[in-house]
Amino acid sequence: MSDEVLVEVEDLSRFYGAILAVKHINFSIRRGQVLGFLGPNGAGKTTTMQILSGNLAPSTGRVRIAGHDLLEDPHGAKQAIGYLPEQPPVYRELTVDEYLDYCAGLNRIARSQRRAAREAAKKKCGLSDVGRRLIGNLSKGYQQRVGLAQAIIHLPPVIILDEPTVGLDPIQIREIRHLIRELGKEHGVILSTHILPEVQATCDQVQIINKGELVLNDSIEGLSRHMQSSALSVGLRNTPDLDLIQGITGVKSVQDQGDGRLHVFYDPAIDPTEALVELAVQKRWGLYELQPQRASLEDIFVHITTEEHESLTGAVA
Amino acid sequence: MIFTIARNELRRMFLSPLAWTILAVVLLILAFMFLSNLQYFVMIQSRLLSMGSDQGLTAVVVAPLLGNAAVVLLLVVPLVSMRLVADERRNKTLSLLFSAPVSMTEIVLGKYLSLVGFLWLILALVALMPLSLLAGGTLDFGMFGAGLLGLALLLAGFAAVGLFMSTLTQHQTVAAVSTFGVLLLFWILDWAGQGSGASGILGYMSILNHYEPFLRGIFDTSDAAYLVLFILTFLMLSIRRLDMDRLGG
């Protein structure tokens, strides 16, 4: 993994009329990194991807791709990206070969090398057998692969994939994920999705975006450390006073799961386990189970996005 | 790069039955008109000669043919031009062009060139009809050439309007109807205020008034300049409009 920075995004914002869809986002991607871009529907994932790929102009901010500013030197920057939008941009009336040749031409691959580039892209995406078939007659999964082949045909340093596994069957999803991992070794890949296991399976860096703001930016390892030790599952025979637990230093929130089970979320910096046990003994709550919870990415996702929501509605009220 | 885009557009156009149907229908109708004009010429030929008129084969057969061709193609251009951008926008394939290292100008010119290429192909096929008369007669090549040049420029103008209308919408039919409306309006613009002073400007704006001199064999640079400016205006508007896709939302 080299340290070459491929994408640098500074203070990126985008208005749709009066609506601010993306709010002052900053991030960067290095070669050999797969960045997962995660968020609920309408969070601004696709908008960000469209800006990075040059399909939308940002309202403010700067995007540098492989050293080229997207606004000042769009040709240089666009040469360095491959983009697969949500819907693969394929012409249904062309055959796979015709289409990929055209894409190679659009990306300024010399005529003599187009054939080789096309064959290499087809091989990587498992399209070798369907070169002569009409794209319109292929299944959704194959069309998606054609879209992917289009994005990588000119071997761009940066590959941007917007929900690449939507509409595929489980086997195809595994294949595409494997392919993305492979691509991530030599390129910088940005992947947007709302499928959480996909991020765990393919990415090494995770960003969560909600309502246009980046709410989390962490590596997968950092995230799993974060996940390991930020919640406790507590089993109590007598119903405790939740406010007392809430009062322990470090505890962020308490959730009653019913039948005496509680989920206690806490600040990873301050471990409240001992204090909690002491309190349980003092108050005779009948502690019979105490388990550190390994939160899934899903929990974090839900936690972060709903927390954001609550603070927002709080501000309004 | 412009040619890569144009070639792909033309290929896709000819993969659909639309292009072939249009070629067939237009040529059938124009051939019919050509033959009836020819028959009329044969009928009045002796009278023309006896009257000592200088009206020859070109004026009686070729000029009306090119004039009719312009009207027929005015109806046809919207059908060919409507899909250029509207269809790609609807199928979300525009992002392929937008994320490729090509400028808006190259995209617009590529698409425009493909349309003009198709229309000029029709023109070339239409031109073959008068040329077939060479088997048994002579043509006034100056007049014929001026007419062809006029029609070529006129079609290029139609194409520019069609392309612009197609960039405005994602519905092909809307693009076709508005192209037809704009073209027809430019065609009949000199009807307004005929006989009064107002006809001056409107009459000058009318595209028909700049096409007719070509048919009479007159090449006037101001007519050619009008058509060239007409084309450039709508091409610029198309580029601006596509840029708005990126900037607006």
Q: Where are the domains of chain A?
A: 5-219, 231-294
Q: What is the mean pLDDT of residues B139-158?
A: 92
Chain B residues with CB-CB distance to A50 below 8 A? 95
Chain B residues with CB-CB distance to A155 below 8 A? none
Residue B175 in tokens: 């693009």
* pLDDT attached to residue B26: 95
Nearest to B95 among A79, A89, A105 (CB): A89
**Contact A90/B at CB under 8 A:** yes
Q: Is A78 close to B12, i.e. CB distance below 8 A?
A: no
**Contact B11/A at CB under 8 A:** yes
Chain B residues with CB-CB distance to A57 below 8 A? 246-247
Contact residues, A window 192-221, toward B, CB-based 8 Å cutoff: none
**Contact A55/B at CB under 8 A:** yes
Give yes or no for a contact between B216 and B67, defined as CB atoms under 8 angstroms apart: no
Give yes or no for a contact between A234 and A264, defined as CB atoms under 8 angstroms apart: yes
User: CA-based diameter of chain A, in Å?
Assistant: 81
Chain B residues with CB-CB distance to A107 below 8 A? 100-101
* pLDDT attached to residue A316: 39
Q: Which CATH architecture has domain A231-294?
A: 2-Layer Sandwich (3.30)
DSSP B129: H
Chain A residues with CB-CB distance to B16 below 8 A? 93
DSSP A39: -
Integer Cα distance of B184 and A165 in angstroms: 48
Element (H, E) at A157: none
* pLDDT attached to residue B196: 57
**Contact B15/A at CB under 8 A:** yes
* pLDDT attached to residue B188: 86
Closest-approach residue (CA) in chain B for A80: B101
Q: What is the mean pLDDT of residues B163-176?
A: 94
Residue B102 in tokens: 């090509």
Distance from CA of B96 to the nearest CA of A (A): 6
Task: Please report, in tens digits, the pLDDT of each residue of chain A (317 residues total).
Answer: 456 888 889 888 888 888 888 888 888 888 888 998 888 777 888 889 989 988 888 888 889 998 899 888 888 899 999 999 988 999 999 999 999 999 999 999 999 999 999 999 999 888 889 989 999 999 888 898 899 999 999 999 999 999 888 777 888 888 888 888 888 888 889 998 877 778 888 888 888 888 888 888 888 777 766 555 567 788 888 877 778 788 787 787 787 877 778 878 777 777 788 888 888 888 888 888 887 776 666 667 777 767 655 544 444 33
Q: What is the dihedral of CA B190, B195, B201, B205, to 10 degrees?
A: 10
Integer Cα distance of A146 and A81 in angstroms: 16
3-state SS record for B16-29: CHHHHHHHHHHHHH
The count of residues in chain B is: 249
Integer Cα distance of A99 and A90 in angstroms: 7
A59-96 burial, b if ≥16 CB within 10 A, otherwise e? Answer: bebebbbbebebeeebeebbbbbbbbbbbbbbbebbbb
Distance from CA of B12 to the nearest CA of A (A): 7
Chain A residues with CB-CB distance to B97 below 8 A? 106
Q: Is B8 close to A56, i.e. CB distance below 8 A?
A: no
* pLDDT attached to residue A294: 63
Q: Is A81 close to B99, i.e. CB distance below 8 A?
A: yes
* pLDDT attached to residue B197: 54
ipTM over 0.95: no
Strand order in the sheet with A34-38: A81-84, A158-162, A188-193, A34-38, A205-210, A213-219
Q: Is A106 close to B98, i.e. CB distance below 8 A?
A: no
Nearest to B92 among A74, A78, A89 (CB): A89
Integer Cα distance of A167 and A155 in angstroms: 25
* pLDDT attached to residue B33: 93
Domain A5-219: CATH superfamily is P-loop containing nucleotide triphosphate hydrolases (3.40.50.300)
Quick: pLDDT tens for B233-249: 999 999 999 988 888 65
Nearest to A78 among B12, B100, B247 (CB): B100
Nearest to B96 among A56, A74, A89 (CB): A89
Give yes or no for a contact between A29 and A6, defined as CB atoms under 8 angstroms apart: yes
**Contact A72/B at CB under 8 A:** no
Residue B127 in tokens: 């031109």
pLDDT, mean over chain B = 89
Instruction: Tell the burial category of A106 from Cβ atoms under 10 Å away from its Cβ (0-12, 13-18, 19+).
Output: buried
Residue whose structure tokens are 């012409």:
A91
**One-letter identity of residue B200:** G
Q: Which residue has the higher pLDDT, B47 or B184?
A: B184
Q: Is A89 close to B247, i.e. CB distance below 8 A?
A: no
Number of Cβ pairs < 8 A linking chain A and chain B: 73
Integer Cα distance of B17 and B75 in angstroms: 18
Which of A22, A53, A55, A146 to mutate: most B Cβ within 10 Å?
Answer: A55
Closest-approach residue (CA) in chain B for A54: B99
Is the torsion defined by CA of B7, B9, B10, B14 positive or negative? Answer: positive
**Contact B12/A at CB under 8 A:** yes
Integer Cα distance of A119 and A128 in angstroms: 7
Nearest to B101 among A17, A89, A108 (CB): A108
